[in-house]
Structure 1
Amino acid sequence: MVNRLWCETVVPVLWRNPWSYSSINYSNRSCLFSIIIYYLFDDIKELQGIKSFLSMRPLLFDYLSFCRSINVCTINEIICTGTSLSNNRLIIQQKFYGLLMRKCPELKYFDMRSISNSFPEDKTRLETICELNCDTSIDSIYFDELSRFCQHIQRFIIVNNRNPLRGIIKLIEVQKNLKYFEWENDRSGEGPYELVFRALEKKANNLNYLKLFIGCVKDFEYTLLQKILPKFHKLKTLVIDVIGNDKSRFPIVPHHLENLSIQRNSLNVLSSIIENSGGHLKKIAFRPYVLCKSDDNFNNFIRKVYENCPSIEYLTISFSPLEENFTEFEKLLKICKNLKSLLLDINQPTCGKNWKYGGKLLRLLIKSAPTNLKEIRIHNGYSFSFNSLKKFLGKWKDRPALSILIFDLAEYLYGGVLYKSNQ
């Protein structure tokens, strides 16, 4: 028997956002449909083709009174477990959303992707939404309605699977305290993006997180982004994949930026960004396998990091296994004392097992790695001989635990023990 006090403490927490648990298969949860039916029984008892739950006992808690969220896709999945008739599903959805609006004292989270039915009549609950997920395939009438009532969104996530609509641009513009913004294109998403960039420019004084996964843009749009990005004075995290025709140019990042993730560009451009970043970067990441590496100066990139980012904690590095690059890498390890995680991309690997370079890397780590280093991920080109690993583990055993992931071998070193993964 579960303690009632424990339930009274935990149930309100679990039901604050009950539609968001990744471990739950909502399309196979008839018990959740039972709860919905319990609340709506008098309104839908005349409907045909609904699974019967007449024998269900009274609810132990008023679950929906704890709820602070709506997830359209998840709720639709749950309703589908109880009826296969589309007309029934539409009626239940309408009544359930209306009930949620009445029950929820404050609606905080709204995921409206795939919404097709109209908003409940009581729209005043929308005023308290602080997080909104949507996509651009939704009819603009929904965004027009939200713009009237919902003006205090702090976290706004948009998937562009159509053309940017003026309704969604207006919804961005009316926000008074927008701090977190994501725009990500799917395969069918396209521009124009000028209105998106200009709407974001008006939020430059509030945003601290900005993610733009757009891909290729027109030259004038890229020039506009270069102009407005330095205005984001409070921005701490920038995750960006925006490409213009001139890949040698990249917008100047705000000087107080702490986390930078760039999906595609050259090391020379990254070196220039780091040099002009203001010295506050704690995380630099990029995708090694889409990096443009031709004519890049690996040495210069490593040098720019340890000269301009003394507080770096999480770092992606790409270099060829040459002596001068190992020398610069050792300097980085000695200078960047806060370094916690490294992703190493070894460029131009030689054929066969690179025992030589693997052993050199392990010796260098023993000699110069900062005490805060907890994780190393290696992409491309390194292999370790048994003897090198044995010596490394023996010398590392008195230091804090270190995890090493080798992408192609999927081997882990953790706490001085070697594990092999099947993944």
Structure 2
Amino acid sequence: MSKLNRDIIFFILKELQNDNKSLHSCLLVNRTWCETTAPILWKDPITRYDLTDNACNILFNKMLLHLSEESRNNLKNQGIDLFVETCQQPIFNYISFWKHLDLFFLEHHINHIMEFFKVKSKKKKSIVKNEVLELFINNDKKYISLSIPKYFNTHLFSGAEHCFSKLEYFYCDKYVDDNILKELSMLSTSIKKLELNVRYGSFGGIIELIGAQKNLNQVNLTYDNEDYISNDTFEYCQKPLEESLIKHADTIQYLRMDWEPITNLLSYLINLVSLDLGYLTHLRSMPYNWYHLKNASLPLLKFLKANYIPSKILASIIENTKGYLIEISIHHNNLDDNHFIQAIYQNCPNLSYLNLALSNNSYKEFQNLLINCKFLNKLEIISISYSKIDWIILFEILANFSPISLFKFKFTSTYFYWEYRQRDLKLFLCHWKDRHSMLLQIASKGSCMYITANNPTQQQCQAKRRKLKDLLQRYKDKGIIKKYDIIQADI
């Protein structure tokens, strides 16, 4: 096996590219295997491994070893010595293998090493930063992804046209200079996935970057709620941004927007496979926005996620699909739960995952959903504070009408419910004994583990939590539960 030619070795390694342990073993076979494996492991070392801070520091220090003798002398002449001892040169030029440039990572660790060596001068920090970045940004490199932090220095792109000519992924912070985006739009036209943290103001750079792309497939537009903006200003800023996406209607398949569209954008995106819509809480709802959503036809949609969009509008979106929806995750305001749930089971025969907040007047339609969605595999139910669920009724419906395929559950309720109403859960588990062993998550909003005062209430709650764990463990021992978790709700 060690004598295989490089083409065969590369084919084998391609099959193992997500198996770090096996790839590390391949490094040790012989020089040929090592030379073929190293570029795969170093293609994206930051995201390939779950790195601790210490591991990141070690990785960054290894990067510094790639500085040329000229660069080291330049730093020393400025009174900067980043090498406390003589280190062996790397076996490979590892930086040449990098295909994913994360400038957040570089900025963070440049600042960290400046603190470690007590370099306080802004001029010296700038010198070090430029030397390190020149290792990564030059015309000997060609990246497929780029992430840029805020306030990044624009001149570092000069002379690096080749470096970013084949980008497929780009992310930037909301404070990135417009000039960077405009310059990048001239360097790269091959971006497929675009993630932007946007804010109100001029979108000239973003719009130019979007317009320059030839095969834009995935767009994630996030927006911070703390950036307060009036309705009129919001519409003035966001409208041209949405209109720029319409020009890519034939290629965009995945869209996330942290606000409800103010144009008829969705009516054009007929090839959309995934839609994730948010809602800006500081903006009042504008009626014509809902009209745009209500009349959108998304025949190929498979994944739908929405927050605080009226259920009547969501029902219309689902009714305008063609039966391909397999995942739905909804946090809405329960204006018309029954119509919404009807839309799901009448139009989503292949549904495998459902996450929704139920109200206490929709049990009958929920039962119909379980009967009709025969491929449902995972169910997450949230009991919201203004419309609490009767869990006893719900658990009875689940025990009697769940499809055979359903065995993954996450139940979220209000403060300490599970600690004080364990009987409800016990009845559900008892009735599940002849079914597929379940994967169960129990979540609470306001868990007792977050009560810090040393008082009887805390002690009582902790005792209830222990009993809850004991209950779940007993049913795990019986084989009814395969795995369980008790977690703090993230809503």
TM (norm. structure 1) is: 0.84
The residue type paired with residue 258 of structure 2 is F
Aligned CA RMSD, in angstroms, stands at: 3.2
When residues 237 and 117 of structure 1 are mapped into structure 2, their CA distance, relative to the original with a 3 A threshold, is same
The residue type paired with residue 292 of structure 1 is N
- Secondary structure in structure 2 of the residue aligned to 1:342: strand
Structure 2 stretches lacking a partner, 5+ long = 1-23, 448-467
- Secondary structure in structure 2 of the residue aligned to 1:371: coil
Higher deviation after alignment, 73-82 or 412-421: 412-421
Aligned residues: 404
The offset of 1:72, in angstroms, is 1.3
Which one of the candidate residues 248, 256, 261 is aligned to 2:305?
A: 261
Which one of the candidate residues 93, 98, 106 is aligned to 1:62?
A: 93
Structure 1 Cα separation of the partners of residues 387 and 175 of structure 2: 48
When residues 263 and 388 of structure 1 are mapped into structure 2, their CA distance, relative to the original with a 3 A threshold, is closer
Which one of the candidate residues 24, 28, 32 is aligned to 1:4?
A: 28
Aligned to 1:308: 347
Which one of the candidate residues 332, 348, 363 is aligned to 2:396?
A: 363
The residue type paired with residue 18 of structure 1 is P
Percent identical among aligned pairs is 23
Deviations 1:165-204, CA, capped at 9 Å, x for gaps: 2122111001001101111112337641121111100011
The offset of 1:100, in angstroms, is 2.2
Aligned to 1:416: 480
Which one of the candidate residues 338, 351, 361 is aligned to 2:375?
A: 338
- Secondary structure in structure 1 of the residue aligned to 2:64: helix
Aligned to 1:249: 291
The residue type paired with residue 229 of structure 1 is L
The offset of 1:419, in angstroms, is 4.9
Q: Is the 8 A contact 2:170 2:194 kept in 1?
A: yes
The offset of 1:282, in angstroms, is 1.6
Structure 2 Cα separation of the partners of residues 98 and 379 of structure 1: 50
Q: Is the 8 A contact 1:179 1:206 kept in 2?
A: yes
Structure 1 Cα separation of the partners of residues 209 and 427 of structure 2: 60
Q: Is the 8 A contact 2:441 2:487 kept in 1?
A: no
- Secondary structure in structure 1 of the residue aligned to 2:322: coil
- Secondary structure in structure 2 of the residue aligned to 1:4: coil
The offset of 1:371, in angstroms, is 1.9
Which one of the candidate residues 342, 358, 367 is aligned to 1:319?
A: 358
When residues 347 and 102 of structure 1 are mapped into structure 2, their CA distance, relative to the original with a 3 A threshold, is closer
Which one of the candidate residues 69, 76, 94 is aligned to 2:107?
A: 76
Q: Is the 8 A contact 2:439 2:484 kept in 1?
A: no
- Secondary structure in structure 2 of the residue aligned to 1:234: coil
Structure 2 Cα separation of the partners of residues 281 and 234 of structure 1: 13
The offset of 1:340, in angstroms, is 1.6
Which one of the candidate residues 225, 233, 236 is aligned to 2:270?
A: 233
Q: Is the 8 A contact 1:151 1:175 kept in 2?
A: yes
The offset of 1:140, in angstroms, is 2.1
Q: Is the 8 A contact 1:274 1:305 kept in 2?
A: yes
The residue type paired with residue 39 of structure 2 is P
Deviations 1:114-171, CA, capped at 9 Å, x for gaps: 2225215232121111100113422222122211110000011001145242122111
Q: Is the 8 A contact 1:65 1:103 kept in 2?
A: no
The residue type paired with residue 108 of structure 1 is I
When residues 139 and 300 of structure 1 are mapped into structure 2, their CA distance, relative to the original with a 3 A threshold, is closer
Deviations 1:5-44, CA, capped at 9 Å, x for gaps: 3865654333212333684355884423432322214213
The residue type paired with residue 255 of structure 2 is L
Aligned to 1:38: 65
When residues 78 and 346 of structure 1 are mapped into structure 2, their CA distance, relative to the original with a 3 A threshold, is closer
- Secondary structure in structure 1 of the residue aligned to 2:259: strand
Q: Is the 8 A contact 1:27 1:81 kept in 2?
A: no
Higher deviation after alignment, 411-420 or 155-164: 411-420
TM (norm. structure 2) is: 0.73
Aligned to 2:17: none
Structure 1 Cα separation of the partners of residues 176 and 352 of structure 2: 40
Aligned to 1:133: 171
Q: Is the 8 A contact 1:374 1:403 kept in 2?
A: yes
Aligned to 2:11: none
Higher deviation after alignment, 49-58 or 260-269: 49-58
Whose RCO is larger (CA < 8 A, sep 6+)? 1
Q: Is the 8 A contact 2:102 2:147 kept in 1?
A: yes
Q: Is the 8 A contact 1:158 1:184 kept in 2?
A: yes
Aligned to 1:218: none
When residues 30 and 56 of structure 1 are mapped into structure 2, their CA distance, relative to the original with a 3 A threshold, is farther
Structure 1 Cα separation of the partners of residues 337 and 199 of structure 2: 37
Structure 1 Cα separation of the partners of residues 371 and 314 of structure 2: 22
